[in-house]
A and B are shown apart, each in its own frame.
Chain A
Amino acid sequence: MKYDHILIRYGELALKGRNRSDFEKKLKENIQFTIREHPSCKVRRTYGRMMIELNEEKPDPVMEKLRHIFGISSFSLAMKAENEIEAIKEAALQAFLQHEGKKGTFKVSARRSYKPFPVRSQDLNQYIGGHILRNTDEVTVDVHHPDVEVVVEVREQGTYITCGRMAGSGGLPVGTAGKVTLMLSGGIDSPVAGYLAMKRGAELEAVHFHSPPYTNERARKKVEDLTKILTSFGGRIRLHVVPFTELQKAIHANIPSNYAMTIMRRMMLRITEKIADIQNAKAIVNGESLGQVASQTLESMHTINEVTNMPILRPLITMDKQEVVEVAEKIGTYSTSVLPYEDCCTIFLPSDSVTKPRRDKAARFEEAFDFEPFIEETVKKVETLNIGSEEESADQQMDDLL
């Protein structure tokens, strides 16, 4: 007998009324997408739990992927037994023996959700505990602080036995909070901002500003790679690559250099808002942190924010650089983010940017030139990549060679 299921638990807080089924449906979808390379695994919803039938798949790679999925509070390997006392005793013993780690003390916590089962929970604890004690050495029962808790749940379709649990990523399933557009630069901050937005259930539409020939293929590839890493936390992400060169040139030619950066940001925001409208996204997420660079002073944010009334979410607003780096390392974006390619923010960056720009001045400078046609044209030329599916076919071509 061996562990043949993974039992997945999720928090109850967000689950009220109709939310619950949306939440569960989305979580199931996200799990299925994330473990799609293990096609024999079957995901099922059961009474406030998710259950994966492994069907001979090795559990470790599947569990590694589960650790990243938002909306899961914890999960455990589980062994399924027939609803029959001898079978349950034996499965519990096997589960205990195959569980890793110290085996000094244990307790059995049995629960009988399936009431027609003839043995009461209290008696189950005793029978199973006794069976484990008789068949092991140097193991004792400790009901207060056991090293291993053998959890036995009798349900209608069978009894599940688990020992120990692994922590999930928490948060809400991606997609349950609606859509946001993430301004993804390729730096360290914006992927972390995207990750944190996903953690609260947001589905991402990533927007990247690309200025060929000033920014090169590798810079773009880097952003595609970052987007791909973010998909491992739940679902496909569309990446909208904005051809920004013409607009940047126009800013460069028409705006005093100390306001060029501010105006550029305003343009980016206008374009992002338009993409958000097209994609039916309800907010913009970026990687700004208060006071980190010239464009992230309160005055700058105030001036730049003037051009949109869509909510701008800034998950990193109060974080130090070091804290952001720590998250970036944890989620695996750091080493890609630090690859040294120019992006559109550094390429035309004037050395004399104001740190305290004013709304009225910015607006006046913008009047010097009719930017609207540029913006319209740029939005038309946005290229949309389906990261996590189109990418996969190119991937597949390469995999075939290996």
Chain B
Amino acid sequence: MVYLDNSATTKPWQEVLHAYQEAASSYFGNPSSLHKPGVEAEMLLNKARESVASLLKTKAEEIVFTSGGTEGNNLAIKGTALEHRNRGRHLITTTVEHPSVKEAFSQLEAFGFEVTYVSVDREGRVRPEDIEKEVRNDTTLVSVIHVNNEIGTIQPIQEIGERLKKFPKLYFHTDHVQGAAHVPLDLHAAKVDLCTISGHKFHGVKGTGVLFLKEGTVLSPLFHGGTQEQTYRAGTENVPGITAMAKALRISRQRLATEEQRLCQLKDYLIHRLQEMEGAEVNTPDQGAAPHIVNVSFPGLKPEVIIQELTKRDFHLSTKSACSSKLKEPSAVVEAAGLGPARAESAIRASFSFDTAEEEITELLEIFHEIIPEMKKVMGAER
């Protein structure tokens, strides 16, 4: 099997699953309980928190464990907007956000908030000065994705953060889900107040995530109940999942240190070969993109058909964001980048992991060369 849909989810590493299993059976207590198993579970939870905090170069108190990216984004965005609604009801985001961000803002619009969607250039990148221009006296939150999940563009988070420093009452959130393993962000240097991470995107297990909450940031919680996670996220902590996530993040950072170069070369190789291919249009920018995402369009072809054909040959890719790939709509990101409807309707994404090998990419290219001309004949692409 060649699995190239790592931006949708990754395969948990064996040692991560082992840690999960061990934590689930040996530290099964409720971390809030007063008895010994509870105390031990709490100790493990605290250690996992410290480990994640040190990998992210934050303080342990700034880590809130969540169920993943969607919850982190919703908590960050709605939590901030609602908490500060008496000070202002204007929010800023971009046109290339993940659905969990976009939909959270839509709901806030329905609640009477005003949202400005800042557009992007042809590489899918937002200009920091465009964001700054939209800031008003009643703006309470700016949310910008760090690495685009569909085409891999890296947004200038640090520059945006520096510009927003002039507005000390404003909160700055970034969806760091695609960046956590491959494009680490220095949260304090980037002046980020809130940052979302998801464990299953770096070989952890599903249902785990982190919301970084800079010291002094207050939120209105989405779930009410106990006092877990400083009351920002009530509910018994997923100790085995969190343990597994901490381990996966640590291993990811180690592998990034030794393999970033290799991944970049692999990505450049795929991009260059695709650029040479007739009928293919690469949507991922050459420069300033993550090392693990390549997005390509075959205008005139239906991407679902290509995906089907690939999966038959045991190659597994996806169309756009997994969260929206079942909807037969064009890629909103490719569209927002102004690359035209033909490209937006036919985009395919290959996303690597640290385990992706060069032979897999070579084989993928061979299959493309074999099936794409064939399909064009049948589907009459040359209109």
- Give the B-binding residues of A (Cβ under 8 A): 216-218, 221, 341, 395, 398-399, 401-402
Which of A341, A398, A401 counts the most chain B CB atoms within 10 A? Answer: A401
Q: Could you name 16 residue pairs across A and B whose Cβ atoms are closer than 8 Å?
A: A216-B34, A217-B34, A217-B36, A217-B39, A218-B34, A218-B38, A221-B43, A341-B34, A398-B44, A398-B47, A401-B44, A401-B247, A402-B19, A402-B48, A402-B243, A402-B250
A399 to chain B: which residues have CB within 8 Å? Answer: 47
Question: Which one, A217, A341, A401, contacts B35 given CB within 8 A?
Answer: A217
A218 to chain B: which residues have CB within 8 Å? Answer: 34, 38-39
Instruction: Say yes or no: A398 contacts B19, CB within 8 Å.
Output: no
Q: How far, in whole Å, are A402 and B43 apart by their CA atoms in the complex?
A: 12
Q: How far, in whole Å, are A398 and B250 apart by their CA atoms in the complex?
A: 14
Instruction: Say yes or no: B247 contacts A402, CB within 8 Å.
Output: yes
Q: How far, in whole Å, are A402 and B254 apart by their CA atoms in the complex?
A: 13
At the interface, yes or no: B58 with Cβ under 8 Å from chain A? no
Q: How far, in whole Å, are A329 and B349 apart by their CA atoms in the complex?
A: 52
Closest to A395 in B: B47
Q: How far, in whole Å, are A217 and B246 apart by their CA atoms in the complex?
A: 26
Q: How far, in whole Å, are A341 and B38 apart by their CA atoms in the complex?
A: 14
Instruction: Say yes or no: A402 contacts B51, CB within 8 Å.
Output: yes
B247 to chain A: which residues have CB within 8 Å? Answer: 401-402
Closest to B243 in A: A401
Q: How far, in whole Å, are A401 and B27 apart by their CA atoms in the complex?
A: 11
Top 7 A-B pairs, shortest CB-CB distance: A401-B19, A217-B36, A216-B34, A402-B246, A402-B51, A221-B39, A217-B39
A401 to chain B: which residues have CB within 8 Å? Answer: 19, 22-23, 44, 243, 247
B34 to chain A: which residues have CB within 8 Å? Answer: 216-218, 341
- For window 97-112 of B, CB contacts with A under 8 Å fall at none
Closest to B48 in A: A402
Instruction: Say yes or no: B39 contacts A398, CB within 8 Å.
Output: no
Over the window 235-257 of chain B, the binary record of Cβ atoms lying under 8 Å from chain A Cβ atoms (1 yes, 0 no) is 00000000100110010000000
Q: How far, in whole Å, are A218 and B36 apart by their CA atoms in the complex?
A: 8
B246 to chain A: which residues have CB within 8 Å? Answer: 402
CB distance from A326 to the nearest CB of B (A): 21
B23 to chain A: which residues have CB within 8 Å? Answer: 401
Q: How far, in whole Å, are A221 and B35 apart by their CA atoms in the complex?
A: 10
B48 to chain A: which residues have CB within 8 Å? Answer: 402
In addition to A398-B44, A402-B250, 18 A-B residue pairs with Cβ atoms within 8 Å of each other are A216-B35, A217-B35, A217-B36, A218-B34, A218-B39, A221-B39, A221-B43, A395-B47, A399-B47, A401-B19, A401-B22, A401-B44, A401-B243, A401-B247, A402-B47, A402-B48, A402-B51, A402-B246
Q: How far, in whole Å, are A217 and B35 apart by their CA atoms in the complex?
A: 6
Which of A216, A341, A399 counts the most chain B CB atoms within 10 A? Answer: A216
Q: How far, in whole Å, are A398 and B46 apart by their CA atoms in the complex?
A: 10
Q: How far, in whole Å, are A274 and B23 apart by their CA atoms in the complex?
A: 41
A221 to chain B: which residues have CB within 8 Å? Answer: 39, 43
CB distance from A397 to the nearest CB of B (A): 8
CB distance from A170 to the nearest CB of B (A): 28
Q: How far, in whole Å, are A218 and B41 apart by their CA atoms in the complex?
A: 12
Q: How far, in whole Å, are A241 and B34 apart by their CA atoms in the complex?
A: 18
A402 to chain B: which residues have CB within 8 Å? Answer: 19, 47-48, 51, 243, 246-247, 250
A216 to chain B: which residues have CB within 8 Å? Answer: 34-35
Q: How far, in whole Å, are A398 and B19 apart by their CA atoms in the complex?
A: 9
B47 to chain A: which residues have CB within 8 Å? Answer: 395, 398-399, 402
Q: How far, in whole Å, are A399 and B35 apart by their CA atoms in the complex?
A: 22
- For window 276-317 of B, CB contacts with A under 8 Å fall at none
Over the window 30-71 of chain B, the binary record of Cβ atoms lying under 8 Å from chain A Cβ atoms (1 yes, 0 no) is 000011101100011001100100000000000000000000
Q: How far, in whole Å, are A217 and B42 apart by their CA atoms in the complex?
A: 12
Q: How far, in whole Å, are A68 and B23 apart by their CA atoms in the complex?
A: 34
Q: How far, in whole Å, are A221 and B36 apart by their CA atoms in the complex?
A: 9
Closest to B44 in A: A398
CB distance from A118 to the nearest CB of B (A): 48
CB distance from B107 to the nearest CB of A (A): 36
Q: How far, in whole Å, are A398 and B43 apart by their CA atoms in the complex?
A: 9
Q: How far, in whole Å, are A398 and B48 apart by their CA atoms in the complex?
A: 9
Q: How far, in whole Å, are A16 and B383 apart by their CA atoms in the complex?
A: 98
CB distance from A175 to the nearest CB of B (A): 29
Q: How far, in whole Å, are A226 and B48 apart by their CA atoms in the complex?
A: 20
Q: How far, in whole Å, are A399 and B50 apart by their CA atoms in the complex?
A: 11
Q: How far, in whole Å, are A218 and B35 apart by their CA atoms in the complex?
A: 7
Closest to B43 in A: A398
Q: How far, in whole Å, are A218 and B39 apart by their CA atoms in the complex?
A: 6
Q: How far, in whole Å, are A395 and B50 apart by their CA atoms in the complex?
A: 13
CB distance from A332 to the nearest CB of B (A): 13
Q: How far, in whole Å, are A395 and B40 apart by their CA atoms in the complex?
A: 10
Q: How far, in whole Å, are A216 and B35 apart by their CA atoms in the complex?
A: 7
Q: How far, in whole Å, are A399 and B51 apart by their CA atoms in the complex?
A: 9
Q: How far, in whole Å, are A91 and B43 apart by their CA atoms in the complex?
A: 46
Q: How far, in whole Å, are A395 and B19 apart by their CA atoms in the complex?
A: 15
Which of A221, A341, A398, A402 counts the most chain B CB atoms within 10 A? Answer: A402
B44 to chain A: which residues have CB within 8 Å? Answer: 398, 401
CB distance from A302 to the nearest CB of B (A): 38
CB distance from B33 to the nearest CB of A (A): 9
B39 to chain A: which residues have CB within 8 Å? Answer: 217-218, 221
Closest to B19 in A: A401
A341 to chain B: which residues have CB within 8 Å? Answer: 34
B243 to chain A: which residues have CB within 8 Å? Answer: 401-402
CB distance from A383 to the nearest CB of B (A): 14
